[in-house]
Chains A and B, each alone.
Chain A
Amino acid sequence: METIVQKIDLVRCYAIAAALALILPSGPAFADSLRLVGSGASFPFPIYSAWFKDFSKKNGVTVDYQAKGSGAGIKDFINKTVDFAASDAAMKDEEIAQVEQGVVLIPITAGEIVLAYNIPGVNAGLKLPRDVYPDIFAGKITKWNDPRIQSANPDAKLPDLPITVVRRSDSSGTTFVFTKHLSAISPTFKQEIGSGTTVEWPKTDKNVGAPKNDGVTATIKQTPGAIGYIEYGYAKLTKTPVAELQNKDGKYVEPSSESGAATLAAAKLGPDLRGWIEDPAGADAYPIASFTWLLFYREQDAKKAEVLRNFVEYASTEGQKIADKMGYIPLPDGVVEKVKAASAEIK
């Protein structure tokens, strides 16, 4: 509940922030007490807040993180109103060019995006073929007892119920990763809807938007016949049934930390540690997963830089231990090495 209030009420947050900005002296005055301010992605917010709490306690610094969304985080980062930011979509080249101190991008955790559903009578084990789930989200398959769904689930008693697609109403990194994957596997989806942090969904009565991961989760749980994409952690936390998806190798895989790890193993990161997993190969790989990044200034205040380096060290080693429990995928060892090397660039 706390996170819902915290994350949903963005507008109010802005109003308060604006009011505070008028009253309080600007950022640098606080630099001495070592208070780090960050903002960005809401997708990894649960694990970040656990890390910040633990790290703050051990190191005597305060870290304030506002989960206002990847795009907003990047905006804050470019405007230099934060000490670090977080984004599910890393940063685009033209965005990096706007930061003259330079940017260090650190993939710090990864998550799977799951298709959570609410079908009366089907409480687990729904299988969705590779050519079916993009069509559900494109509004082409509209009933649960459609022969294309039924043939993949011969034993399930699928009801004659309209499919209600629940998607994000706010723009989000989760939508970005999800639509990128659907566009990669379905030419029709790519042509009709495309990918982005917000896309124009089919205008039907059976396509509804809800704010944030928690809003989508709540709407799915309350709507018989609903399916929607959410971050794995939210489905795990709320015990919402999730679909097994058919991957590139034709196998049905359910989301878990093992299948997520298999997905990450297929990921290729560039020298700047950016990289997308649009359609991972591998028999055990779950099809939709993504890294999420922390963004740091390459050159900055030495004291802050040291704390931030320590934080990356903490998050990439000790922090990874809680990833699985919280519904995220621990970073592969190869990536952890690269992350450690890259964090030395924060000076």
Chain B
Amino acid sequence: MANHSFMLAAPASTLSQAPTAGEVSSDRFFRALAAVAAVFILLLVAYVVWKIGGRAAPAIQRFHIGFLTSSDWNVQTEKFGALPAIWGTLYSSLIALIVGGFFGLMVAIFLTQDFLPKKLAFVFRLIVEMLAAIPSVVFGLWGIFVVIPFIRPAADWLNAHLGWLPFFSSSLSGPGLLPAAIVLAIMILPTIAAISQDALNSVPYRTKEAAYGMGATHWEVILRVMVPTAAGGIFSAMVLGFGRALGETMALAMLIGNSNQVSLSLFAPAETLAALLASHFPEAGEVELQALMYAALVLLAITLIVNVAGIGLLTLTQRRITGKA
């Protein structure tokens, strides 16, 4: 048994041993712990939905589905509707996703596809990720004091010359959809950039070498090979970014203008579900509280649908690219 040279060759003596009682029990313990934690999270989600649903139940009975299509929010007459907030949430998040998604992907390509020396790329990556550490309130203030004055001349010009387009049909008052969406885009950019970089980095180096070997140019490699191969990861980056944009509260409450109207205009004040909750919750009376819970439930449902749809699309695109079932 005690063959010295053999022991040296394979010092991991436990490999050949049956697991000890301690190892078995610790393994079981960790399994149980992981299972409990997983179940706990599921229960927590179920509990949150159940609790909010319970609080929202009176409002659901009272306003039915009309809550989703009405645009009143009147505490005096107790008429509540979330259409402007739902519209504003989706509209602002979509613009943020288009802008933030484009720039996020560009940043990811720039930092991973040999445009910069490795060390410099690392520094840039840190700087982009630092954006994620800025508190929402600071983004809100920055939006008020920097973004709005900055876009005002352009907004005025667009309104004056292209005002017949519904997107530019109102003049910018200050807070409004566009400043909110721009700040949102910046807030989701680090998420999209970071996950897209990981996706691009995880494409095997051989794939790239093969593409170069076939005579492809740098840009052909990036756009025809790298990005499609990493599409799954890039797509989930977009979904996560969109999810973050939907739920973002504080900066939006400060920038969106909190006006209950449905408008295509980029410069009009609007409302989002999260901002509505944040600004009305602290002082809401009984009926308004139920309506707010209903709105919270709607926000939860939208987020859920976006995530499920995102995962569904992700598997679809991956199947197409990898050819696997």
Contact = CB atoms under 8 A, between A and B. Distances in A.
B279 A169 contact: yes
A71 B263 contact: no
Interface stretch (A125-133, A210-218, A245-253): A210-218
Interface in B132-191: 137, 140-141, 144-145, 148-149, 170-171, 173-176
B92 interface: no
A174 B268 CA distance: 25
Contacts of A11: 249-250, 277-278, 281
A198 B250 CA distance: 19
A164 to B, nearest CB: 4
B257 interface: yes
A72 B175 contact: no
A101 B9 CA distance: 81
Given A196-B76, A200-B74, A208-B259, A223 B174 contact: yes
Contacts of B280: 170-171, 198
A197 interface: yes
A282 interface: no
A69 B254 CA distance: 17
Given A200-B76, A203-B261, A218-B145, A170 B279 contact: yes
Contacts of B250: 8-9, 11-12
Interface in A207-256: 207-211, 215, 218-219, 222-223, 225-226
B55 to A, nearest CB: 15
A71 B259 CA distance: 22
Nearest to B257: A208
B174 A211 contact: no
Interface string B69-82: 00111111000000
Interface string A106-121: 0000000000000000
A206 B278 contact: no
Contacts of A72: 282-283
A198 B288 CA distance: 11
A203 B170 CA distance: 13
B141 A219 contact: no
A50 interface: no
Contacts of A275: none
Contact of A197 (B74, B257, B261, B283): B283
Contacts, number: 128
A83 B249 CA distance: 31
Given A164-B173, A170-B279, A170-B280, A199 B254 contact: no
A205 interface: yes
A10 B285 CA distance: 17
Interface string A1-18: 000110011111000000
Contacts of B145: 218, 222
B265 interface: yes
Contacts of A209: 175, 257-259, 269, 279
A196 B280 CA distance: 13
Contacts of A260: none
A334 to B, nearest CB: 31
A162 interface: yes
A169 B144 CA distance: 15
Given A164-B173, A215-B254, A71 B269 contact: no
A199 B75 CA distance: 7
Interface centre among A9, A169, A200, A203 (most CB of B within 10 A): A169
Question: Which A-B residue pairs are the 5 nearest by beta carbons?
Answer: A71-B283, A209-B258, A223-B174, A169-B258, A171-B283
Interface of B: 71-76, 137, 140-141, 144-145, 148-149, 170-171, 173-176, 249-250, 253-254, 257-261, 263, 265, 267-269, 275, 277-285
29 contacts: A8-B250, A8-B254, A10-B282, A11-B277, A68-B282, A69-B283, A70-B283, A71-B285, A162-B173, A164-B174, A170-B279, A171-B280, A171-B284, A194-B76, A198-B283, A200-B75, A203-B259, A203-B261, A205-B173, A205-B268, A205-B269, A208-B258, A209-B279, A210-B254, A211-B254, A211-B278, A218-B141, A219-B144, A219-B174
Given A196-B76, A208-B173, 20 more contacts: A8-B140, A8-B254, A10-B281, A11-B281, A72-B282, A162-B173, A164-B174, A171-B280, A196-B75, A200-B73, A203-B259, A205-B173, A205-B176, A208-B258, A208-B259, A209-B279, A210-B257, A218-B141, A218-B144, A223-B173
